[in-house]
Amino acid sequence: MAKPIRFTPVNTKSGWRINIPSKVSETGRRQQFFYRTQKLAKEAQQDFKKKYDEFGSQTRAIPPTIAEQAMAAKVLLDPFGITILEAASRVAAHERQRLASVKIEAAISAYKESKEAKSVKHRQAINQMANHLLLKFRGIEIADIKGIDVDALMKEKVKGETAFNARLTLLKNFWRWCAHPKRDWCKPDALNIIERKDPKRGEIGVLTAAQAEELLRQAEKHLPDCIIPICISLYTGMRQAELLRLKPADITDEGVVVSAANDRKNNRRRYIQMPSPLAKWLKTYPIIKYVCPANYNRKQLALKRLAGFGVWSDYVKKFGLKNNPDENLPDWPQNALRHTAASVTVALKKPLPDLLFEHGHTGGEETLKANYLGLMPPSEAKAIWNLAPKEKS
């Protein structure tokens, strides 16, 4: 005869302990509860006994059909070491979460609203993530979306290891936000099945002379206030963060000064001699109040799109285009303007020590040669160097 379960409190260093055997535990696994005083433990013991007595009386009244289902379920679960109660608890928890969940579009809308204080670049990344999710999961409760399906969507829509990993970080942040206890719309670990990719160093991407010209012509036609920052990037290789901090006083006829505070890598002041093509563009489009216009990040994305690259932009609506680019458009190469600038100056045989200093490169000459030597034909470099503004009518 089976020994009766008494839920007897035991005094331990951690407090008065009550053991709940797996066969009567709500989770289907053995549980332990600790109480600060013996009185509290005794009260809990009575509650456990009452629930157990009720449970026992219910088992005696189980209809044969339910008993048969229970045995069939046990056969299915035994190979996995899962009890019937544990399986039922998991299903019940999922159903409770489904009832508390919301559709993916409602979750995205609430998440975007919570991130309004973030940078334009961060919000753009969230928008792109959201657009891809809605392509496949619109109208579905977020609790019902499986990690394996998100993984398949990522592999279809996101190119490149670095971009994949960045998108995965965004997605996991979004899922954890939705899973926060005050929302509890989904499980926080739902995307753990998706593995990060190992970034492999690929070929450095640069613009051709035709692509660089198209970018500048689109700027002349649609957004002339962006011409000078684009030319500074194209002819000096300045980093985006440094460019955004430039002031008109930093640019003279002789060259461009990057202060130590603005040098994001080396934390040192550096001076860039004025490239002759940049001087031509400055003469036609002189700087007056600012180097980079308001909304420059959004505007430059629009220019990349207008120039024929597959870049998401909300600014292109002004020019009659939709936010999402066509699938057949080429990707914009990472750090394309900076890499193009370095490739041009190497191809035109500018002294490498000067290039290392002016561009703020942290590697030595050998690293620079390995990355840029022979990357661009001299004819292409000359064509980019000779780009000039159209004469204003």
> Structural domain boundaries of the chain?
1-53, 104-179, 209-385
- Give me the mean pLDDT over the 311-332 stretch: 88
Mean model confidence pLDDT for the chain? 82
- Give me the mean pLDDT over the 276-297 stretch: 93
pLDDT of residue 237: 85
Q: Residue 27 — pLDDT band, cuts 50, 70, 90?
A: low
Residue 145 or residue 26, greater confidence: 145
pLDDT of residue 198: 74
Q: Residue 352 — pLDDT band, cuts 50, 70, 90?
A: low
Q: Residue 354 pLDDT more than 90?
A: no
Q: Residue 206 pLDDT more than 50?
A: yes
Residue 304 or residue 189, greater confidence: 304
pLDDT of residue 356: 57
Q: Residue 350 — pLDDT band, cuts 50, 70, 90?
A: confident
Nearest to 241, CA basis, from 220, 227, 218, 259: 259
Q: Ranked by mean pLDDT, which of 263-267, 273-277, 371-375 comes out on top?
A: 273-277
Residue matched to tokens 């007056």: 288
Q: Residue 69 — pLDDT band, cuts 50, 70, 90?
A: confident
CATH no. of 104-179: 1.10.150
Q: How far, in Å, CA of 242 to CA of 286, rounded?
A: 20
pLDDT of residue 277: 93
Nearest to 186, CA basis, from 124, 85, 135, 110: 110
- Give me the mean pLDDT over the 354-379 stretch: 63
- Give me the mean pLDDT over the 243-261 stretch: 86
Q: Which two tokens stand for residue 283?
A: 């003469």
The number of residues making up the chain comes to 393
Residue 159 or residue 385, greater confidence: 385
Q: Which amino acid is at 109?
A: S
pLDDT of residue 324: 85
Q: Residue 351 pLDDT more than 90?
A: no
pLDDT of residue 37: 92
Q: Does domain 209-385 have CATH number 2.40.50.140?
A: no
pLDDT of residue 52: 76
CA-derived radius of gyration, the chain: 32
* Strand pairing category for 15-20 and 31-35: antiparallel
Q: Residue 263 — pLDDT band, cuts 50, 70, 90?
A: very low
Phi then psi for 256, rounded to 5 degrees?
-125, 135
